Amino acid sequence: MEFLDYAFMQRALLAAVLVGVTAPAIGIYLVQRRQALMGDGIGHVAMTGVGLGFLLSASPVWMATGVSVLGAILMELIRWYGRTRGDIALAMLFYGGMAGGVMFINLAPTGSTANLTSYLFGSLSTVSQSDVTAICLLAAFVVLVTLGLRRQLFAVSQDEEFARVTGLPVRALNLLTAVTAAVTVTVAMRVVGLLLVSALMVVPVAAAQQLTRSFAATFALAVALGVTVTISGTITSYYQDVPPGATIVLLTIAAFVLLTALATPLARRRARALAAAQPPGDPAECSIPVTRGAADEVGV
């Protein structure tokens, strides 16, 4: 436990825990909305914010947050109105964000491509106290949104038309989800990196879905997995001198493979139990399904 004697490791572990909580917390809604790669696109846009931070001698984290939020809003507007050429507009937004980041950081007096690398793939030793403060504030916003509005966000993620009929502000909630995803990207970029953050938003959720059957259980297990792999990856990175972002993502994928292997025999056992409980002469397709309310599905 000697790594706790170093201030940079204390900051890195705190940031890792916050990333492990926030990334799956918003990722579960993106998976439900079939927007699993949204975090990857926002990560490309955030590179422009990092470059602007170096160019203007401002905080790269806060600058990346502002640019990411603007990019997320543009993505939602393109999704609403750009039905014919929306994919081309998104591609230009993503690649323009990446190119802008490289250009701005090379124009900065104290910037270089090496500075950008730590934001692309994560770096333990470069997490400063100001970064930790910004990450804590941004993470608090993500947790408040994902937990405080979980019923509304779940409803919109499952069925936008039904949510609209019930009177929910669908567009406002969609916009809030996109903004929260953008904030999460900037929370995670110092530990996982902009190019790998999407994996931490999606893979723990996909892994949790292998074992769980309700939204609440999936949410809890995904967050637990996120915290476990981020802490384990950070410690492994310290002892083995390997990139933290890549280590965390590989551990996350390993957890997915392991849970999938455990879930396969459990699914077969459930299927056999269901078949055994089926009354003789009553085909499964003719049985009356047991319905559950939306609140029961959310698990809250």
DSSP output for 142-188: HHHHHHHTHHHHHHHHH-HHHHHHTT--HHHHHHHHHHHHHHHHHHH
Claim: this prediction has a pTM higher than 0.85: no
DSSP output for 11-73: HHHHHHHHHHHHHHHHHHHHHHTT-TTHHHHHHHHHHHHHHHHHHTTS-HHHHHHHHHHHHHH
Calculate the alpha carbon distances from 163 to 25, 76, 171, 174 in Å.
21, 18, 10, 11
Q: What is the dihedral of CA 142, 144, 148, 150, to 10 degrees?
A: 20
- pLDDT 10s digit of each residue in the chain, 300 long? 777 778 888 888 999 999 999 999 999 999 988 887 788 889 899 999 999 988 888 888 899 999 999 999 988 888 777 665 567 777 888 889 889 988 998 888 876 676 778 888 888 777 888 888 999 999 999 999 999 999 999 999 888 888 889 889 988 999 999 999 999 998 888 888 888 888 999 999 999 998 888 889 999 999 999 999 999 999 998 888 888 889 999 999 999 999 988 887 776 776 666 667 666 555 554 444 444 444 444 455
Q: Do residues 65 and 186 make contact, with C-beta atoms less than 8 angstroms apart?
A: yes
Tell me the C-alpha distance between 8 and 11, whole Å.
5
Tell me the C-alpha distance between 123 and 191, whole Å.
6
pLDDT at 285: 47
Tell me the C-alpha distance between 255 and 111, whole Å.
37
Q: Do residues 194 and 242 make contact, with C-beta atoms less than 8 angstroms apart?
A: no
Tell me the C-alpha distance between 104 and 53, whole Å.
9
Q: Which has the closest alpha carbon to 139: 189, 173, 101? A: 189
Q: Is 164 exposed, middle or buried (0-12, 13-18, 19+ CB in 10 A)?
A: middle
Calculate the alpha carbon distances from 206 to 36, 200, 221, 225, 289 in Å.
10, 10, 10, 11, 26
- Greatest CA separation for the chain: 79
- Compute φ and ψ for 193, nearest 5 degrees: 100, 150
pLDDT at 293: 45
Q: Do residues 104 and 52 make contact, with C-beta atoms less than 8 angstroms apart?
A: yes
